[in-house]
Amino acid sequence: MTPVERFGLALLHRLDPETAHSVSLSALKSGLAPLAGLVTSARLATTVAGLALPNPVGLAAGYDKNAIAVSALTRSGFGFIEVGAATPLPQPGNSKPRLFRLTEDRAAINRFGFNNEGAEVIAGRLAARAPGPVPVGLNLGANKTSADRAADFARVLALCGPHVDFATVNVSSPNTEKLRDLQGPAALAALLAGVMEVRAGLPRPIPVFLKIAPDLTLEDLAAIAEVALASGLSGIIATNTTLSREGLRSAHKAEAGGLSGAPVFEKSTRVLAQLSALTEGRIPLIGVGGISSAEEAMAKIEAGASAVQLYTAMVYKGISLAAEVARGLDGLLAAKGFDTVAAAVGSGRGRWL
């Protein structure tokens, strides 16, 4: 982290978290933040579900909800980025305050509730982006007041699908009432059938991923894995935020919403490893939850992830974390004798089972 970035982070932490979030996006869009550029190597470059990634370190959904800083984010060291979540209609989300820093725990709690400007506006921004070597995906969401939430995911894909490189079905956010009910096998199968039907009609059939919660039993995971494989999904992202509050110290630990950051690392990695064992390499996995270093990214890969995503750790370590993790991962792969990322996937899964 440069002195400029350290100073900027200190200023941001003097603001309330949601304002700081908005200011950081504006700084990126305006060119005020230092950008690492493309980070890649023969060892880091990999392919996941047909997506050519310059490196396996991605940005998770939720940071750039409305796709306003896509160009800057693709030049920030990430190997791929995911924007959104987008819903068919614009919605304000839940009432403020709805984002809390848990500094002592290196974590955050949010209860945004899919606040976004709507799929049409987001599709327009995505259509205007210049193509580049860093794939850009969209997280698909559902409107809170929708009479048919399952159909909302397909509607967003129909609007935005032609303008992105991949899409993620998000039925695991804890901040829209009863949304997680769509993770049940029957409901999930029906929802995915609608999404995959739309995907088949796109100008190019982009990969579609499913993002799951960390608060699932082994039985739940087995059922989801079966549905995912049967539906023709391209991959699974494990995991979203958790409802658990175990071991937290911060004054904000009792706030409602999804917990992300360091406390989620072990739980999310365990779910990832279990899913890897259940699917036995038949579907690629993307590991998310609590990554703040190259060592933690490597642990996710060894647990079964073909790629990883960052988010909350950037609150504490800045946007330069993406390049730092990617470069550190390159060194770790070399030190462990792996010529490629793919060669390391699942090599240490037993540690988490």
Which is more confidently placed, 102 or 184? 102
**Alpha carbon distances (Å) from 51 to 56, 167, 202:** 11, 12, 17
pLDDT higher than 80, residue 2: yes
Token pair, residue 269, equals 């990695």
Q: In what order do the strands lie in the sheet with 258-261?
A: 99-102, 107-110, 258-261
**DSSP code of residue 48:** E
Average pLDDT over residues 337-343: 98
Q: What percent of the chain has pLDDT over 90?
A: 90
Q: Give the pLDDT band of residue 183 (cuts 50, 70, 90).
A: confident
Q: Give the pLDDT band of residue 180 (cuts 50, 70, 90).
A: low
Q: What percent of the chain has pLDDT over 70?
A: 98
Question: Quick check: is 276 catalytic?
Answer: no
pLDDT higher than 90, residue 184: no
pLDDT higher than 70, residue 178: no
pLDDT higher than 80, residue 273: yes
Catalytic site residue from 172, 173, 234, 306: 173
Choice among 23-37, 38-52, 58-72, 326-340 with the minimum mean pLDDT: 23-37
Give the tens place of pLDDT for each residue, 31-61. Answer: 888 899 999 999 999 999 999 999 999 999 9
**Alpha carbon distances (Å) from 226 to 168, 229, 236, 239:** 18, 5, 12, 17
**Residue 57, beta-bridge partner list:** 308
Please name the residues in contact with 288: beta carbons below 8 A apart, sequence gap of 6 or more.
60, 237, 238, 239, 240, 268, 308, 309, 311
**DSSP code of residue 155:** H
Domains and CATH numbers, the chain: 37-352 (3.20.20.70)
Interatomic CA distance for residues 108 and 311, integer angstroms:
10
pLDDT at 34: 85
Which is more confidently placed, 61 or 190? 61
pLDDT higher than 90, residue 247: yes
- Report the chain's mean pLDDT, rounded to a whole number: 95
Q: Give the pLDDT band of residue 179 (cuts 50, 70, 90).
A: low
Q: Give the pLDDT band of residue 99 (cuts 50, 70, 90).
A: very high
Token pair, residue 240, equals 């979203």
Which is more confidently placed, 149 or 236? 236
DSSP SS3 for 288: strand
pLDDT at 318: 95
Q: Give the pLDDT band of residue 199 (cuts 50, 70, 90).
A: very high
Interatomic CA distance for residues 65 and 206, integer angstroms:
20
Give the tens place of pLDDT for each residue, 144-166. Answer: 999 998 899 999 999 999 999 99
Q: Which pTM was predicted?
A: 0.96
Please name the residues in contact with 305: beta carbons below 8 A apart, sequence gap of 6 or more.
56, 238, 272, 276, 285, 286, 287, 345
**Residue 286, beta-bridge partner list:** 237, 307
Average pLDDT over residues 4-23: 95
- Residue 54 near residue 38 (C-beta atoms within 8 A): yes
Can you tell me which residue has the tokens 């209609």? 89
